[in-house]
Each structure stands twice: as C-alpha cells, then as structure tokens.
A and B are shown apart, each in its own frame.
Chain A
Amino acid sequence: MPGKLKVRIVAGRHLPVMDRASDLTDAFVEVKFGNTTFKTDVFPKSLNPQWNSEWFKFEVDDEDLQDEPLQITVLDHDTYSANDAIGKVYIDIDPLLSSEAATVISGWFPIYDTIHGIRGEINVVVKVDLFNDLNRFRQSSCGVKFFCTTSIPKCYKVVTVHGFVEELVVNEDPEYQWIDRIRTPRASNEARQRLISLMSGELQRKIGLKVLEMGGNAVVGYLQCFDLEGESGLVVRAIGTACTLDKLSNPSAALLPACNSPSKEIKEVPFSEDPNPNTHSSGPSTPLKNQTYSFSPSKSYSRQSSSSDTDLSLTPKTGMGSGGSAGKEGGPLKTLLRQQTQTALEQREFPFFTLTCFPPGFLVHVGGVVSARSVKLLDRIHNPAFVGIMGNTRSYKLLDWNSFSADEPETRDAWWEEIRQEIKSHAKALGCHAVIGYSESTSICEEVCILSASGTAAVLNPKFLQDGSLDGCSEHRLSRQPTYFSTGSEKGEFDFLPLSKDSSSVLGLEEPSPPSCGFCHIPYDELNMPFPAHLTYCYNCRKQKVPDVLFTTVDLPVEAAVTGKGCLIQARLCRLKKKAQGEANATAISNLLPFMEYELHTQLMNKLKLRGMNALFGLRIQISVGENMLVGLASATGVYLTALPTPGGIQIAGKTSSDITYEQHISNMQKKINDTIAKNKELYEITPPKLFALDPEVSTFKGQNTEMSEEIIGSPIPEPRQRSRIFRSHSESSDEISELDLSHGKKDAFVLEIDDADAVEDIHSLLTDAPLPAGFYSCNTEIMPGIYNWTTGLQMFTSVRVFRLNNVNLTNQGLNKIFNDLCENLLKSLYFKLRSMIPCCLCHVNFTVAVPEDELIQVAVTAVAMTFDKDQAQESWKASVDKALMKVIAENEEQLQFPLELCSDSPGAQPFSPRKGTVSLGLQESVSTQAIPEAQRAASVEYSSFANRCNSWIELVKVKALTIRRGSIKTTSSLEKASPQALGHARVRSTTAYTGSTITVVKMTPLSFIPGAKIVKYVGIINMFFIRETTSLREEGGVSGFLHAFIAEVFAMVRAHVAALGGNAVVSYIMKECVFMENPNKNQAQCLINVSGDAVIFVRESELEAIPVQPQTTSSQASNGGADVTT
C-alpha cells in the first residue's frame, strides 16, 4: 500500500441550471479512483454550491497511482428519477508522484461534458502521501520525470543521455465494442476518454520502468500518440529519450555543481566542454590534423537489407540528406570518430534521440535526414489473452503488446521495429551512428495505415552518453553498478573529438573545427558516399568538407554560424489515387509514396534556392492518406549557414525551340526568378561574408576550378558560385560525380525544364508563394535565426481549416493548386490576425494535414507569435555584452575564481536556452569582422538582450561566488537537498505574484522557453485527451462554431490544470491530434483532440533581479545540509 491519495471537494460555481422549475441545481460530487468511489453531500438549490467536503482518502498501489486518473463527476440530485450528470473532471495525478514536480493540485477545474462542453467549474484539492517502497520488483516507476520538451529542460543539467525508449499498448476501441450500440454517445465518449487516460498512464509507467532500468531518472522529448485504428483497435504509443538529469539548485545560477571540488572545477570550467575531469589529463587540445589514423572501412557500409518482406510493407527509402554533394578526404578523423562512438552506441538497439536541441558540443556532425515509411494493412488485434483479462476486476485491463505478441507475426510493435531498423541502417549509410530529432507518426484511412519515421543522421559526442561521465566526483562514485549500455568505452579517447576542444575554440583562438561549423562537416566518407553530392571546403574553417545543402529535422544549433534570417519553407503536394480495397490499395499507396517524397524534396530544394539559402532545419514531412488521394506536406525552416557554399540559382531550360515568343517567355520567367532570389536575399538579409576572399586556399585552387564554368551560366550570382566550386587536385572522383550530377540525378534542383504543363505549373507555384508581409517572419523551429531581442508578447494559437472538394473530376494539378492555396490563405489569415503584434515572428509553425473524408482536406496549424524589438539592433546587444565584459574583467583582477564560476555556470544553467545561448564565433564574424576577442569571450559566457539584465545577472553570480567560497565542504548531494528549498522560494514568489486575481494567467507556447522570463520549475507533464460530440450542430453555430468552442474549451482545461499544479505556463505545447468528423445531414459532429506540454513556473527576468539575496541564503543553507549528509 505505498500511497495514499487525498481529495477534497471545496466548491462549485457557475453550474448549469438542472431544474427548470426552480432555475437551480441540487449538486453533489462523486470522487472515483480505481474502484473506490466517495460522494459529497447534496448542496441543495444553488448554482454555486459550497461542499467543503472532508478529505476523501484512497489507499492505493503506486502502480495504480500512475495508471489511473482521478475521476470527479458532478451530478444533479433528483429524488424521483436518476441523477443527471452535469460533467466530469479527470485529473492526472502523476505530477504529484515526483518529488520535484508539484506537491499539491488545487484549483478550479472546468466541469466538462462530452456533449455540452464546459458546464461550470469545481474547486478541488488533491494530495498524495507516498510511502517509501524498496521493493525491487515493483511495477511502478514513480518519480521518473517526463518532459515533452525536446531539449534539456531549462532548470536541469544533463548528466547522461541514455537513449531511446519506446512503448506501445493496445486495446479495443470502446467506440467499436458491441456495447456501443446500446449505450449513449456520452457513455461511449467517456469510456474512450477514460480508457485513453488509463492507457497513457500505463504507457508512461512502463516507459518509466525502462528508464529506471537504464539508470536514468527522466524522459525528455516524450512524444505520445494514439492511433485510432477503428475496428482493429486503439494503439497508444510513445517514444522519448531517457536521461539522467540533475536539478540545478537555483534556476538563475547553477553554481552548486561547480563547487564540489575547486580543483576539478577549474578544469571543468571551459564552458563545460570537457565533461570528464577524471581523464582530462590526456591532453584535450591536441591538434587533430597532425595525427594520422589508418582508415578502416567500417562495417556500417554493408548494404542493409530491405525490410519490406511483404508486398504491403514497401518502404521507400530516402536518404534525403545533403541533397547535393560529395567529396572525399577527411577520412581518418572520421573513422576514428566512428570507431569511438560506435563502441558507445553500438550496444544500443536504436541509437535514436527524440531531442532536437542539444548541449553545445553534443552534436559533432550531421549527415542528413533519414526517413522510412511503410504501408500496412490493419487487422483486428485479436488475442485470446484479451478475453481472459477482461473478466478481471478492472473494467479495462490493458495489454502490453510485447508480452502477448510472441506468436503474432504482424504486430504494431514489429512494424515499428522494422521501420526503426531501416532508419538505423540509413543512418549508417550516411556514416552516422546516431539519429537525432527522431519522430514517428501514422496516417490511417480505413484499413490502410502508413507508418512513418524520420530523423537526422548524426555523429554525437559520446561523452554525454556515458553514465556519470559528465558530472563531478561523487556522482561518479555512486554509479557503481555497471549500466546497461555504456560499458567498455575508453574514455580517454573521446577527447580527440573535434568538438571537445573546449576552451580555445570558444575563446576565439585559432581552432581547426569551431563549433559554429563543425556540425556541417560531413560524417561520411568521401570515397564511399551514400549518394551523389557536391562537397566543398567549409566556408568557416576551410579545413573540412561540407555538403552544398544540408537538411535536418533538428533545431538550428545555438552555436551555428548563420547569415541573415531564416524563413518557413513548405512543399505541398496532392496525388490522386484510385479507390481500392485491401492489398490493392496498400500497393497503390506504396507505389505512390516514393514519387511524392521525390517531388516534395524537389519542391523544397527549389524553394530553398529561391530564397538564396542552403540549409533546412526542423524538416517535417507528413504524408496523409485518404480514400482517393494522398496529401504531402513538408515544412522546414530555411537558413543560410555561413559554413556552407552559396546556393546556385535556378535556371530554366525550355525545350529546343525556335519560337521567339517562347524564348521570350522563358527569359521572362528566368528574370522573374532571378529577381525573386535577389529580393529574398535582401528580405532575409543574406549577405554572404566575404571573409575568406583572401584565403590562400581560394587562390590556390581557383585555377583548378575549370570544369564548373558551364554551370555558372544562368546563375544569377556567379561570383560566389565560383568560390563554391573548389576541389583539391586529387579529388577526381568527386569531379566525376559532379559531372554525372549534371546529366541526371540531382540536376532538377538547379535546372527546371519546361517541357510540359507540369513544369510550368511548378514554376508558377514556386513564384506565387506569397511573400511575408512586412514585419513578419516565420519559422517552424524553436527560434528564428537572426532574431535575438525577443520582447514579452506571446500569442499561441490553433487554426483549423477544412476544405471540401466538390469537383469530382480533379486533376493532380488542380488538386495541388487547391491545397497550395489552402495553406497559403491560411498563412495570410494568420498574418492578418496577428497584425497588431508586428514586428513579430511566428515560431514553431506546425502544420498537420489530414484527409478525414472523401472530399475533405483538413489543415491544422498550431504556432506561437512572438514579438521582438526591431530597433534594438545587434550592435546594441553587442554593446551590452561588451559592458558586461568590462565587469567581468574588472572582477577578474580581484577575484580569480569568479570568471570560472561564471563560465561553468552558463552552460549549466541554461544549456540550450536558445534566447541566451552562447553566441558563436561565426556569428560574431557575420556581424562584424573585427570582433575583438574579449567580446567573443563575453558573448560565449552569456548573451542577453538587455544590458542591465546582463549586469544584474553578473552581480548575482558574484554574490554566489562569495557564498561558495565561504562554504567549505560541499558535495553533489547537497544539490539534491537544495532544490526543494530553492523551489519553495520560487513557488512562493510566483504565487504571491498572482494573489488577488481569481484566475492565474497561463501562457501557452509550443516552444521550450518563454521570452523575457526564466523557467524556475517544471511542475508536471500535461497530456490530455478530449472528445466532444454534438447532436445539434446547427444550433451550435455549425462546424466552425462547434470546433471553435471545443478548441477554446481545450485551452481552458489545459490552463486550469496548469494553474492547479501551481504553474503559470505550458511550454512545448503540442496539439498531437485533432480528428474531426461530421455528419451535417444528421446535424452531428464529433471531434477528438489530444494535447500535451510541460507545465512550468516562470518568473519574469525583471522580477528576478530582486532575487539575488534569496539564492544566497538558500545555497548556503543547502550546502551546510549537504555537508551533514556526507560527513
């Protein structure tokens, strides 16, 4: 009996009138957990009842605590007939199970009914007393933290990244059970809501168990989805990245970990690039180039076998990666890298990471996007085990497919396994040992299901993957049990990784592979390139090869050097498909998929070039299947990476014709395209730096650059193009490849041939992409490259459109145009709606498409609009950094320890805060070529948009530094001790800030941060599923009125839950599912929405300035406490 759940029902308000005669309600409440139910008294004749109930106590297993939701039902008492239900509240008590999240859930919750929507509110208080249970064989995983955020949460420090975790549970869908024929829609909806809630709980618990097994304590980048497979059942599946996280004692300054032992700390200091103080002595900054390694072809090049073992699971392969180019050389280092990291990663079944944003230094190289799709036919998930368990005491016993599926050949689990294997082999082919930014999705239509997975092949710095290697001494000692995955790798060798060259690189000294471009360098071998591509020397460091285009699914690394601003790029495509059944249908879809991927890719490439950019981040390709069509939508954020060559223009080639008007037409079009490129370059401020014009290499190799001259023709910017074609004399084979390229393969990316109507359409649509209105920027990544001075304006929104195609005889082109217009108009509407926020940027623009019915296309967008300060130019923040720097120097003189503290602190406290991430060397260069070394150094310490903010922060650190020196014995365990106290403070602050108002304002954002504010605590994961149904569609304002109200209600319920947890914002908010079905003839509609995010407490930076005294006391107290523990 390891847990006691306590619930108190306080009051209700704004209840609906349930008794027409008196215009009042006699309300009472049922509180249910598991199979136990309590009831409050009836509070007669009131719309604002005050129950003030006793504490209802449930004594339950912690397994149940994790699985079951608390179910609160508000009813109207009726003496003569059955009591009428007013509505329900489901509360996920999981946040209460972790000591670091919320301690109490208390607040007003909307009372929700699946037919009537929100009907009043109820005030509830929930607490949990957990008893320590040391049972090794327990099935619960209480205490494992879950984060939707796809980066390391802001107030944590990562100790180890363990890797990929996944789980999947299936059940029958209550909507398709026989009982559904006799029960009311309400009962059926509630059964579904409850079931999914239960399944999510179980899924989370199981994943938690896996994490504990791996030695981790948290899941980051947790993505849970459900598949409504209709007749064949309901699948809830989740993926995530298991990590060991350490709480930073104080969110504003992470000093405690640094103070364990002064001697270590000095080594750790250099921006925590070096994680491994124990082995640090092996000489980290040995110039790599001087060492020679024998090249041994890795077995990763062995051909992977196609996983499509049946006709149905045809998996189009796409190494969409670096769309263009290749070279060779650079082998030895990479081989070494591969060898080293392989040892760390090879044992893992799937070296996948759902993270999209990494601590500096984590990402070594990026290969390119890898994706796999598979078409499957859904079968009823029938299993004898079901029957046996249904008779159990629980109403729904959930099945872990794994445990029963041994004899089932076609299981959901096996399907995903297959896809993941494929992804893994793609990554290997790109010379990468890991996949980052990994995600999975499905699209289901009738019995056909497309499973998709995609990610970015990458080479990672294994130091983070090693258990206990990142932190100080005590933690290391504690982790004695040999952990699952990370054995046997010799740590010393990792220091040779190009990126771990720590201090010198960040300090702006001569450096062979600076972090600003290192990730662009190709990980694969030039001689064995997985696909034809053009390689050039990196424009940043001139030492390594880079591809000419880079596609990734991750966020732009904070340290990356970018020229100008980025923008949202979308490729849209519809393909008609014959209606078919069963296998024929699946085969037809399988056949179409590769073509769709190819076309989407081509579109992306063209649009990228049209904007004069050379890299895509956050690429997300969604292909949705409908009865008679497939819809594909690819979204990404285009940027100009300084390290990559300037992209070529787009050349139009017509068929050979003597017709003068035709020629005229062609040249007009060419001119238009060239104009657009020029305009875009201006708009996105893309002015490639001319820093390397005098680089000796350029002059040396220019002479050999002869065969490229043809390609320059038609390119609007021949000058930089010329520079991009530099090859070493011995790189003959790569020259061949590039020649081959010109005749086929990737040629279309540069030359558009107008030989049929299709191509004309393509070019036309290319040019009709509406330009952004002045003052707007958009991207689908966390942050907009090139915008740093965010102000506090924040507006998260969801917009949904459904388009009905009435014209049955549509062509592919017609369909494409409609779909394209649909997306463009939607974007235009957004710009119009948000015009009051100008200048602003739409961030994390997330489109989802669906084909809910025969002739319907549904597009849903969730994004956040954030304001930024236009006038505060980069110069001003540079000035502020300079100012801060002066202080640092001044401090430096009198207090040696201080700058070290500062340094070690910044990456720890805000490891990837995009807003104030380290400003890279490359960026400095693009801003101003004469950036002084000091400025660079200060910039890498911390960048903040406001000078005073920066100063006060340094002040704060100073205070802390003093405190730390005073304390004598500190251990890491003191860190643990410190956290609750520090949080207590934060909590008090945040609640006092809102006293007086009855409703906490809750911000919502799909990003992992809140501009102008610091996240001080994560109070729990939000994962909610709602169904809304109506049988009076017209009366509720038609489909739009219905959905508008429902989305508003979902927002309201999310906000209420967050507020009850003590939070004031949701970060990493995502609407994972929005399934809308209607039957206007019957006046009915139904919608399912699944949302998730992380509830947090944030404090405005302006408020933070008042804090410095507080953390001082906290930290000293805490460290004293810690001393007691260890001595």
Chain B
Amino acid sequence: MAMELDVFVGNTTIMDEDVYLLWLDGYTVSDAVSMRMKSGILEQCGASQDVLESDTMDHYRTFQMTERLLHNPSKLVNQLLFQIPPHRQNMLIERWGGGAAIVKITVQKCYKILNPFSPSLAPSLPPSLALTGRYYAFDEAFVREVLGKKLSKGTKKDLDDVSAKTGITLKSCRRQFDNFKRVFKVVEEMKGPLVENIHQNFLLSDRLARDYAAIVFFANSRFETGKKKLQYLTFEDFAFCAEQLIQNWTLGAVDSMVEDMDVDLDKEFLQDLKDLKVLITDKDMMDQHKSLVCTALRGKLQVFSEMEGSFKNLSRGLVNIAGKLMNNKDVRDLFIDLVEKFIEPCKSDKWSLNDVRLFLTQHTNSVRALDAFKHQAVWERYMRVIQSCILKMYHD
C-alpha cells in the first residue's frame, strides 16, 4: 500500500525558505525531512512525518521546475508558469522598468537581508529575487577551491574531491560550479562593464554581481589561488583584488567608451611594465629612491632599520613582478609572487599593516621625484593596484 501520487499546486506558488536552502545545499528529500523534523516544526504544527515528507516533496518538485528558469533569471521575471507572490514582485518589476538607479537601491536593500549567510531574515523578501540570489549564492569554502581554475569539464570531474574536502554535498558543488560556468559563458564575450552585465543578465544583487565578476575574472586569467601559501587568503580578499585589477588594469579602465571586454587585462599596459625595470637596474636611481623613502619615513616607521635593510630586496621584488606580467603564465602567479616577494619578508620582520601602508605610499610617491624616470603614469597605474592588493592581503 503506498501513495502513488501526491501533489499540491497553489495558484500562488508556495516556497518555503528553509526547504529551499536544504534543496540548494543538495540534500536528498529524506535528509531534508529529517533535518526539518529536528527543527521542531512538527511540534509547532501538530503534523506527522508523512505530512512533512509530502510537503518536502512538493517543494523539491517546485524547485526542480523553477531551476530551468533560474538558469536564466531574466526569464523568471516574465515567465507565466509560476505566480510568485504578487505585490512584492509586482513592485519589484515596476521598479525594473523605472530605471537602473532605483533598481540598484532595491537590490542593495534586498541584499542586506538576502545575504546568503543569514537565512533567518529572508522571508520578507521579494521571492523571485530571493530565489535568484539564493540560487546563485555560493559557499566560501567551495569558491576558494575553484577560484582561478578553468571552468571546464575536467574541473567539474574533480568536484567530488572538492565535495569531500569541504563537506559540501556534491550536488550543491555541481550547482555552484554550473552557476559559475553559466555566468562566465554569458558575459565572457559581452561588451560593457562586467558587473553591470552580470547584474542585467542574472538579476543578481550588486554585491553578488561583484563577486561573480571576480570569479569570472579569475577564471578567465586563471590566477593561481590554491597554493599552500595563499591558503590564508579569503575569497573576499581575492574579490577585492579582482575589482582593483578590473578597475585599473583592463582595457575598460583606460577608456570607458572602449567597446571591449572587461575581462582581459590591457596588453599594452603589461608591455609597458617592462620599462619600470629601470628603477632597479639603474643603481643611481635606486639609491636615490631609497634615500627619498628613508628620509620621508624616518621616525615614522616602527621597523625603520629593517626597512632600510630590505628596501632593495622589496623594491626589486615589486618591480620584477611588474616586468614578468607580460607573460600570461606569470600573470597567473601574481598573487603568489606578491606573497613571496613582499608580504612574507615583511611579515618575517614583523611589519605592522600601518608600516606597510606608509612604506608603499612613500615608495610609490617618491618615484615622482626621480627626474630621470620617464614612466610615471605606468608606475602609478601599476602601484595603485599592487598597493591596495598588498594591503588587503596583509593579514594572518
């Protein structure tokens, strides 16, 4: 004796936030049921286990049906199959038509509650947006494993290792990976600002769109992030760095009117970086640079003597990184180089973050006083990114 068929369909699609999260996390129906039972929901409502099973099944089916739409969230807005709760969605949709500025406000506001890490606050959200946001949200642990890897079938095959390592279900890993890949595919060849493109095509919140931009950017340039020395860095660190790189080193950074991709670095600029070598090859210039920095920082730096001792090494490290960036392969090692050539030496000398900041600022600015140096613009464009990246990455 068994229930052959059991469905519930509402004119207004009922979506339970908790079950949605369980589904996103890749739990099976039976796992989800037992987890829901632990939450004490049965006692609250005086229901039995089979009621919960039937309810969970209904939700899972609904989510499976919506998944197709979630892959292309702009469809979700004008699809007819599901009537997702009226007034709030209506309001949101009206705002969409009303102009981007309002949209951003709405989205940002929503995101505050929508933050994937605080699910308890979410029910008051416009569900279609919540749905998308939730669907495209990712686990920190997962993204650190995949960041900078090629979003290929090969990587997907290795997801079971990732799953084992992170404790995230394989199903969930696959979904997150597919999301990365889907977004990547869509915006890869697109013109215009990367964040905006993601925002438009996937209706993601501003914050989430930025995160995806970072993921796409890293995947495209295949930056190395998995090395042991880089393990201490969070996704947020990398996302920040990616934003800096996108804003300063890509083609779009020079001229916003350029109809080119935000994803690729400005090749010409990378070529020009070779010219910075003069800072370390020209001994006079290097000495002059050192004395300028030392004069300026004397008394201000707690690690002044250490700085004085390692100035040449650090300076050489920074400039050498710049010189190597014209090779694609070396671009990938940007972050490992920054750690090895700069962050680690500083750390071993116990520089404080403030020391690093003062040093880098002075180091960058002092170059202006070097009359013989002709590449001020390139130097500053380079150092702006390096400086903020190092500062972001300079922690335990």
Contact = CB atoms under 8 A, between A and B. Distances in A.
Contact of A1003 (B11, B14, B46, B51): B11
A1056 B90 contact: no
B58 A806 contact: no
A1083 interface: no
Interface stretch (B79-87, B228-236, B269-277): B79-87
B11 A1051 contact: yes
A856 B94 contact: no
A13 B5 contact: no
Contacts of A802: 3-6
A1040 B6 contact: yes
Nearest to A117: B81
Given A998-B77, A1045-B65, A1048-B81, A796 B5 contact: no
Interface in A962-1015: 994, 996-999, 1001-1004
Range for the number of chain A residues in contact with chain B: 35 or more
B52 interface: yes
Interface in A1008-1051: 1037, 1039-1041, 1043-1045, 1047-1049, 1051
Contacts of B52: 832
A825 B51 contact: yes
Interface string B48-81: 1011101101100110110000000001011111
Contacts of A110: 80-81
Interface in A641-656: none
Contacts of B4: 802-804, 856, 1039
A856 to B, nearest CB: 6
A47 to B, nearest CB: 10
A302 to B, nearest CB: 50
A678 interface: no
B45 A121 contact: no
B257 interface: no
A1044 B83 CA distance: 14
Contact of A1047 (B9, B48, B55, B64): B9
Contacts of B87: 1001
Contact of A795 (B11, B64, B94): B11
A773, A797, A806 interface centre (most CB from chain B within 10 Å): A797
Contacts of B78: 13, 108, 998-999
B10 interface: yes
Given A108-B80, A118-B80, A1039-B4, A835 B45 contact: yes
B10 A803 contact: no
B9 A1048 contact: yes
Contact of B80 (A797, A801, A1003, A1056): A1056
Interface in B16-56: 45-48, 50-52, 54-55
A818 B4 CA distance: 14
Contacts of B2: 803-804, 806
Nearest to B12: A795
A837 to B, nearest CB: 10
Contacts of A796: 10-12
Interface string A445-483: 000000000000000000000000000000000000000
Contacts of A835: 45
B54 A829 contact: yes
Interface string A1045-1087: 1011101100110000000000000000000100000000000
Interface string A790-807: 000011111111111111
B309 interface: no
Contacts of B80: 108, 110, 118, 121, 999, 1052, 1055-1056
A828 B47 contact: yes
Nearest to A1044: B7
B49 to A, nearest CB: 11
A825 B355 CA distance: 69
A807 B9 contact: no
A1001 to B, nearest CB: 4
A806 B1 contact: yes
A121 B75 CA distance: 11
B9 A799 contact: yes
B98 interface: yes
Interface in A819-838: 825, 828-833, 835
A1040 B64 contact: no
Contact of B55 (A794, A800, A832, A1052): A832
Range for the number of chain B residues in contact with chain A: 35 or more
B81 A118 contact: yes
A1047 B7 CA distance: 9
Contact of A1076 (B5, B12, B81, B89): B5
A1074 to B, nearest CB: 11
B93 interface: yes
A380 interface: no
B125 to A, nearest CB: 14
Contact of A801 (B5, B45, B51, B98): B5
B8 interface: yes
A14 interface: yes
A1037 B6 contact: no
Contact of B5 (A805, A999, A1040): A1040
B97 interface: yes
A856 B4 CA distance: 8
A823 to B, nearest CB: 13
Given A118-B80, A828-B48, A1045-B65, A1001 B90 contact: yes
Contacts of A799: 7-9
B94 A997 contact: yes
A1040 B11 contact: no
Given A833-B14, A1001-B83, A1044-B9, 18 more contacts: A108-B78, A797-B8, A801-B7, A803-B3, A825-B50, A825-B51, A828-B47, A828-B51, A829-B54, A832-B47, A832-B55, A997-B93, A1001-B90, A1039-B4, A1039-B5, A1043-B5, A1048-B13, A1052-B80
Interface of B: 1-14, 45-48, 50-52, 54-55, 57-58, 61-62, 64-65, 75, 77-83, 86-87, 89-90, 93-94, 97-98
Interface of A: 13-14, 108, 110, 118, 121, 773, 794-807, 818, 825, 828-833, 835, 856, 858, 994, 996-999, 1001-1004, 1037, 1039-1041, 1043-1045, 1047-1049, 1051-1052, 1055-1056, 1076
19 contacts: A14-B75, A118-B80, A118-B81, A773-B46, A797-B11, A799-B8, A800-B6, A805-B1, A807-B1, A833-B14, A998-B93, A1001-B90, A1003-B11, A1040-B61, A1041-B61, A1041-B64, A1052-B80, A1052-B81, A1055-B83
